[in-house]
A and B are shown apart, each in its own frame.
Chain A
Amino acid sequence: MSETNDQFDLVVIGSGPGGYVAAIRAAQLGFKTALVEKDAYLGGTCLNVGCIPSKALLHSTEQYAFLNEEAEHHGIEVSQLKINVEQLMSRKSSVVESMRNGVAQLVSARNITVIKGHATLLEPGKIKIFQKEAPIEIAATHTIIATGSAPIELPFLPFDGEKIVSSTDAIKFEKVPESMIVVGGGAIGLELGSVWNRLGSKVTVVEFLPQIAAGADLDVSKTVERIFKKQGLDIHTNTKVLEGVVHESSVTLRAEKNGQPVEFNAEKVLVSVGRKPYSESLGLETVGIETDDRGRILVDDHFKTNVAGIYAIGDVTPGPMLAHKAEEEGVALVEQLATGVGHINYDVIPNVIYTDPEIASVGLTEEEAREKHGDVKVGKFNVAGNGRAIATGHNQGLVKVISDAKTDQLLGIHIIASGASEMIASAVAHMEYGGSAEDIARTVHAHPTISESIKEAALAVDGRAIHAVR
């Protein structure tokens, strides 16, 4: 490419799941597309330091935990079991690497121009990219900002990469910390807390809200809190961290629990209180793009910012920060640019926490459903009554199906179970097509599978679960 003024139909800034998917879809639709990435590798947070590496660690440590705690019960005797953190991390890295290669391959196969560097908007349709070498300028008919998000720092507890860490650091510890405090009991905190807890770290979870897994259905968060406590997580809800003191080899957090002062001490502190949109130094002010008070780029239903020709998707915009949401938005936006039509059903975006058991949900919580729909029906099924769950020893969990009392239309489905992340897909499909609880109840589920629990919960909506005593 020439050094200046390359003209593209579409320039995507950020190559995370939102950005690279948008770029591929655009290339499929015949757009001359450029993908700009400031980091060394494509794939964004999710692929490099988020979803994928954490899933690798979660899987490995789950095997370890099984061998450590359950194998003997299965008649599997293991002697001299020990964790090799270096190898653990190396496998994780190879997983990430293979994903990076995959994305790079996909992108290059579509003749998408990849530009490594930091993009700044100069004016609508004109983007300057700072690279190792001299900056270049490119022109774009359409620009998509898909720059994602970054971990939020607590002002009194700045990240130091050693003792006060973000999720990015917590996936690459070189040894198992003796103890770790997780500030924020959401998806990231619970997942990484679980990883190190399984490896022997004494993990304390401190959550400001009355429940962990904030945003989850109350039954769900209560149930998982009980399960995680049994696994050894020390969980403190309604606890507000006030200040932190960093010592030579530990950190002390002063906090307030239900109004009472408490202190926590640990080798490391993982701050996972949320993520903030990555919208700085993008030249948003230069072109006059509006953001809200949290720095999120404001877009309309068609992902348009207030500046013509500039769009934004994913974590950098309001809404749940989920890779699959960003992906769908990227596709919908590009299709819209090409055909005028593109749509996302925001009511049925699944959400998963990859702990053991996994927590997956779609749609409304019971509380939200009652508020929005008034009369609702709820069916619950305890996974302990499921044959496959008992056989595999994964018998902790709950499935909850919520439907409209009048139309029986599915409003929300919540699953705590081993494999919930895979099970939720069928729930999403039913809801996407306007399905009713009865539709699930009348759909044949293979036996024995843990998925049958969804069917039982759907039956329970009408009080006719087969494998439950009522």
Chain B
Amino acid sequence: MQEEVKVPSLGESIVSGVITQWHVNNGSQVNKGDLLYELETDKITSEGLADFSGVIEILAADGDEVKIGQVIAKIETDVEASVPQEAPVETTEPEMDTAESPSAQDILDKADTLKQSPAVERLAAETGIDPDTLEGTGKGGRVTKGDMLSAAEGEQPRIIPEDLVSPNPPIIPQPPEPEPQPEPIPLKEEAPRQEIVPVKTQFETEERTSRSKMTPLRRKIAERLVSAQNNAAILSTFNEVDMSPVMRLRKEMQDDFVASHGIKLGFMSFFVKAVVSALKAVPQINAQIDGEEIVQNHFFDIGVAVGTPKGLIVPVIRNCDKLSFPEIEKQIIHYAERAKDGKIGIEDLQGGVFTISNGGVYGSLLSTPIINPPQSGILGMHNIQERPIAENGQVVIRPMMYLALSYDHRIVDGKEAVTFLINIKKSIENPSRLMFGL
């Protein structure tokens, strides 16, 4: 029996993705449950597992754009892998053979499907651009030389393998730990560290510049950021907050909290709760423009930006008004772990009313976040720094954090934005307010 491996449905808005990597070689034996490939879409990255055991015939190459439902491989369930017979007994490095054969086979397979014009083939060879990934303007969607040239204008030879290129700004050295660094979302600790790898690679290449194709995720990020900037009147307001009360509270409660809930009490739950309180006080921020209408949200689903090796994603914590501190912390950890494994689903990213972004984990002192449309506000958290401040006529040293609120000025007035941010400041500087719904 020959079973087909199809790209699974990943949510209604996703129609295609790019196979970033095959984990098996063409013609090799796979077992049910084996990891076959990684698929990246503009929203999520997912993994495909084998549903059958048998010999796999791979029909789509690494980097191919594939559609949902497309057959990307076949698994022959009746035969055993023929590799042992093919491989000469005395092959000293069988692994190299198997590692190289699939790509050559892939090229042959592709040649069978649609012959490209000679000029297109030359450009494909020279630039490394796979014509199959382009939308052809020629007859029947054929890729023309012009298509290749315009693709090449944006993306010259692929010198760096795609998975080594980080979509995030490459160099953000971890700042020397200022004493009370907020405990970051677990994943974020890892993200920047992973990103150092490509940076190093880039510096090591001989070329002064090098180019690579944008991944669908990065392209989507770029699109959304520009669209947010173009379509909303984004303005930012700033404040600063004394973190010592929250830090004191965490210190006092940490042992009991861990003992009772099995996880640590972080900063994020405070900010999520503070945002809920502020959204209740200033409902305009929990509203959004839809065409000619204003949609007022009466729920509190809050997105928490999480850096991943592939880019920033914003999973949404539902009904934060009804969640306890430990429940919020658990959700954040849950998402962070899923993100690390590339298992965030599209439904995890949808429907938030407000976003919290913590640039502080990377050491940012101050920034103006861009809102996540159609939301109307985003809170930027930053680095905690000990700074001298005046308190009751005295200069004292306090762990301070700058807060930024970017908001859509079309729907939120300045007064409301400032009130919102001051409300958060009050909640963080006096967390007991959160207990009383103030």
A-to-B contact residues, CB < 8 Å: 345, 404, 406-409, 432-436, 438-439, 442-443
List A contacts of B118 (CB < 8 A).
438-439, 442-443
- With A and B bound together, what is the CA distance between A435 and B150 in angstroms? 15
29 contacting pairs across A/B (C-beta < 8 A) = A404-B146, A407-B144, A407-B146, A407-B149, A408-B119, A408-B145, A432-B139, A433-B117, A434-B136, A434-B137, A434-B138, A434-B139, A434-B146, A435-B117, A435-B138, A435-B145, A436-B119, A436-B145, A436-B146, A438-B118, A438-B145, A439-B118, A439-B119, A439-B120, A439-B145, A442-B118, A442-B119, A442-B122, A443-B118
A438-B149 contact, Cβ under 8 Å, with A432-B139, A433-B138, A433-B142: no
- With A and B bound together, what is the CA distance between A404 and B149 in angstroms? 12
Q: Which of B109-162 contact A (CB under 8 A)?
A: 117-120, 122, 136-139, 142, 144-146, 149-150
List B contacts of A409 (CB < 8 A).
144-146
The answer to whether B117 and A408 touch across the interface, beta carbons within 8 angstroms, is no
User: Chain A nearest CB: distance from B317 CB in Å?
Assistant: 49
List B contacts of A438 (CB < 8 A).
118-119, 122, 145
- The A contact surface, by secondary structure, is loop
The answer to whether A435 and B144 touch across the interface, beta carbons within 8 angstroms, is yes
Please give the number of chain B residues whose Cβ is less than 8 angstroms from any Cβ of chain A in the complex.
15
- With A and B bound together, what is the CA distance between A340 and B147 in angstroms? 30
List A contacts of B139 (CB < 8 A).
345, 432-434
User: Chain B nearest CB: distance from A326 CB in Å?
Assistant: 22
List B contacts of A406 (CB < 8 A).
146, 149
> Which of A407, A432, A434 is within 8 Å of B150, CB to CB?
A407
B-to-A contact residues, CB < 8 Å: 117-120, 122, 136-139, 142, 144-146, 149-150
Beyond A436-B119, A438-B122, 6 additional contacts (C-beta under 8 Å) are A407-B150, A408-B146, A438-B118, A438-B145, A439-B117, A442-B119
Most chain A beta-carbon contacts within 10 A, residue among B119, B142, B150: B119
- With A and B bound together, what is the CA distance between A439 and B120 in angstroms? 8
- With A and B bound together, what is the CA distance between A406 and B146 in angstroms? 8
List B contacts of A404 (CB < 8 A).
146
List A contacts of B145 (CB < 8 A).
407-409, 435-436, 438-439
Q: In chain A, what residue has the closest Cβ to B138?
A: A434
- With A and B bound together, what is the CA distance between A434 and B120 in angstroms? 11
- With A and B bound together, what is the CA distance between A325 and B358 in angstroms? 66
List A contacts of B144 (CB < 8 A).
407, 409, 434-436
List A contacts of B119 (CB < 8 A).
408, 435-436, 438-439, 442
Most chain B beta-carbon contacts within 10 A, residue among A345, A406, A434: A434
- With A and B bound together, what is the CA distance between A345 and B139 in angstroms? 10
List A contacts of B117 (CB < 8 A).
433, 435-436, 439
User: Chain B nearest CB: distance from A376 CB in Å?
Assistant: 13
List A contacts of B142 (CB < 8 A).
433-434
Q: In chain A, what residue has the closest Cβ to B146?
A: A407
User: Chain A nearest CB: distance from B204 CB in Å?
Assistant: 35
List B contacts of A433 (CB < 8 A).
117, 138-139, 142
Q: In chain A, what residue has the closest Cβ to B150?
A: A407
List A contacts of B149 (CB < 8 A).
406-408
Q: In chain B, what residue has the closest Cβ to A435?
A: B117
Q: In chain A, what residue has the closest Cβ to B144?
A: A434
- With A and B bound together, what is the CA distance between A438 and B149 in angstroms? 12
Q: In chain A, what residue has the closest Cβ to B149?
A: A407
Q: In chain A, what residue has the closest Cβ to B119?
A: A438
- With A and B bound together, what is the CA distance between A433 and B139 in angstroms? 5
- With A and B bound together, what is the CA distance between A40 and B137 in angstroms? 47
- With A and B bound together, what is the CA distance between A408 and B147 in angstroms? 10
User: Chain A nearest CB: distance from B149 CB in Å?
Assistant: 6
User: Chain A nearest CB: distance from B245 CB in Å?
Assistant: 63
- With A and B bound together, what is the CA distance between A360 and B262 in angstroms? 84
- With A and B bound together, what is the CA distance between A170 and B119 in angstroms? 47
- With A and B bound together, what is the CA distance between A443 and B150 in angstroms? 22
- With A and B bound together, what is the CA distance between A436 and B121 in angstroms? 12
Q: In chain A, what residue has the closest Cβ to B121?
A: A442
- With A and B bound together, what is the CA distance between A409 and B117 in angstroms? 12
